[in-house]
Each structure stands twice: as C-alpha cells, then as structure tokens.
Amino acid sequence: MSDFGLFKKVDLPDLSDVQLNRNSAVIMVPVLLIMLAELLLFVEMDYLSICIHVALLLGLPLAAIFFDNREITMAFQALMLLPLLRLVNISMPIFFETTLYVFVFIYAPLIIPVYLVAKEQDITLSLRGFSDVNRMWLVYVFLAIIVALLIAQGEYAILASNYLIPDLSFISLLKISLVMVFFVGLIEELIFRYILQTRLADTFGVWPGLIIASLLFGVMHSGYGAPLEVLMTAFAGLILGYMFLRTKSISFVSLTHGIVNVFLFGVIPHTGPGLGLF
C-alpha cells in the first residue's frame, strides 16, 4: 500500500545548531555596535560614538542577566571591555607634559576590570610565559623582535608617527619599553587575545573568532583617523592572534605587541624607516 509521499522522512534541525545560531546572532549585535561607534569616531562624530559606547557599557551587563545564557554572558563580559577601554582613553586628563606617561594612566585603571573578567571567564588557558613555549624562549624573543619590526615599519609608513621619547638613550628606551610592554601590550593582549578572541572562538569557531577579534582590534584604532591604519592594525591583530593560537603564550604576544610600539613611537621616528640601515 502506497503512502503517496504523505509520510516522507523530514530532517529536523539539530537543537544545538539552533541554539548556536541564536547565540551567534545575539553576540554579533554588540560586535557591530562597537564597530559602528568606532566608525563614528573615525568620521569625527564623537558625541554619538560616546553615546553608543556608554549605552553598551551599561546595557551589556543588563542584557547578560536578561538572556541567562552562559555563552552569551561570557561574550558580553568580554565585549564590555572595549567600550570601557575607549571611554577611559577619551576621558583621561593629561597629567604630564610627556605624552608617554598618558598610556600609564589610560591602561592602569583597566587592570582591575580585566582581571575580574578574566577570572570570571573560566578560560582554560594560563598566563603562560616563555619557559612553556617549547623552552626555546630565546628563539621566541628574536621572533617577537622581527615580527614587531615588520609590523612597526608598515604602520610607520602609514602614520609617520612622532616620537614619545626625546632620544634613544638607555633610560629613554627603558621607559618606553616598560610602558609599552607591561601596560599597553599586556593589557590589550589580555583583552583582545586572552579574553575576547578565546570567547569568540567558542561561539563562532577558531578562525571566525580570530577574524572578528582582529577586526575589532583594527577599528579600535580608528582614533588615528587613517583608514589604512585601521586595516594595518587589523592585519597586525591577525598576526598576533595567530601567534597566540600557536603558542598559547600571552607573554609572547604581549612582548611582540609592546616592541611594535617601541619601534613605532620610539626608535623609528628617530632613525627613520629601515632604522637607518638602508
């Protein structure tokens, strides 16, 4: 007896896939709003940009309670650090004539919220150092310097940045190295790689998570007002993110990031592109 096709087997969607798609869609909303806010800052619509960042900073914790989903909650916690970083950056007053010290006052207040989010995230990664990277730390230090130099040369070609230190004396280089590695490099890598990239990878997959985190890293540098700098910084984020994927060493990527800034704002402005070698 024929059923005339009335009882054909129908493949129902996997509930886990539906949940994953829902989580991805929800998490993409603040991601896109952060990008929008940074693009508004880029076109000098500062007031509207600040309003969006403030709304995100206030709204993400409330939204996390509303959704009551751990994956969404963890992603919102990670994304909340980006508007916080921008608002601290914009609002921090100038205490010293030396611009270098401004970075200390911007990034030092972020240590506590970054620590609290990292502790709450329950990420199964540790703050691994060079002793854990195949115990070839000298090779990785050399690699960090080479990668940092190449990135810095590319960024300097776009920005032609001014120097943040008066000369290339040992004391000046030590000051900028400490600030750029232990404040800028470490804090930004904790935010973008250790917390954000890891969390986005859990939701979207390893490579999509890497790409989204890198794009956010790029647009968060929109304050320079140079489209190529946003693209270059996003590309640098891809490199740093891949290095983190390969080594799982936050020390390695933080050192690389910090040395990029040492070259970009310290060495190259004094020596010129090519460090005076060409």
**Cα–Cα separations (whole angstroms), residue 30 to 58, 72, 108:** 12, 11, 25
**Cα–Cα separations (whole angstroms), residue 220 to 22, 144, 184, 227:** 26, 23, 13, 12
pLDDT at 94: 62
Task: Give pLDDT tens digits for 176-185.
Answer: 999 999 999 9
| Number of H-type helices and E-type strands within the chain | 13, 0
pLDDT at 263: 96
Task: Give pLDDT tens digits for 5-52.
Answer: 444 444 544 445 555 688 899 999 999 999 999 999 999 899 999 999
Rounded-to-integer distance, Cα 184 and Cα 191, Å: 11
pLDDT at 65: 82
pTM: 0.87
* CB contact at 8 A, 57 and 65: no
Rounded-to-integer distance, Cα 187 and Cα 114, Å: 8
Half-sphere exposure of 226 (CA within 13 A, CB side): 14
Weakly modelled stretches of the chain, pLDDT under 70: 1-20, 94-98, 124-135, 274-278
Instruction: For residue 194, give both structure tokens.
Output: 């250790």
pLDDT at 113: 94
| Residue reference for tokens 């199964």 | 124
Neighbouring CB atoms inside 10 A of 129's CB total 13
